[in-house]
Amino acid sequence: MLVLAQTSDGAAALGGFVLLVLILIGVAAYFIPTIVAFVKKTPNKMSVLVINLFLGWSFIGWVVALAMAFRDTPAQQQVVIYTQPGEHRLQPQPPPPASPTSQRPPTDQ
């Protein structure tokens, strides 16, 4: 004769709570690269989120997202030219390169 163990409602509730906690820990571990990217305020944090969301299930995708989250971005530098004491202005940006079609010599017709 087979006897099944009866569990009380309290034990079932505790088991459900433990399962919920384990699921939350798993989701948090899965999104560690995204969490790191948003905490570090990396400029490519949305790219990290997309890669983590869609490719994080593979270990390689998760590692790539984590590497992107930890990647340092170089500080942007601003060049200031002093023209006279007490006066300064920003260095003008060079014009964009001309397209190849705009550099054709005029043709005689």
Q: What is the pLDDT of residues 12-64, one digit of tens each?
A: 888 889 999 999 999 999 999 999 999 999 989 999 999 999 999 999 999 99
Residues whose CB falls within 8 Å of the CB of residue 33, separated by 6 or more in sequence, listed in order: 48, 51, 52, 56, 62, 65, 66, 68, 69
Closest alpha carbon to 67 in 85, 86, 88, 42: 42
pTM of model > 0.75: no
Alpha carbons 77 and 75: distance in angstroms, whole number: 6
Q: Determine the average pLDDT of the residues in 76-94.
A: 69
| Residues in a beta bridge with 82 | 88
In the predicted model, is pLDDT for residue 109 greater than 80?
no
- Residue 30 is classified by DSSP as H
- The Cα 61–Cα 30 span in angstroms is 11
Least Cα distance to 38 among 49, 30, 29, 28 occurs for 49
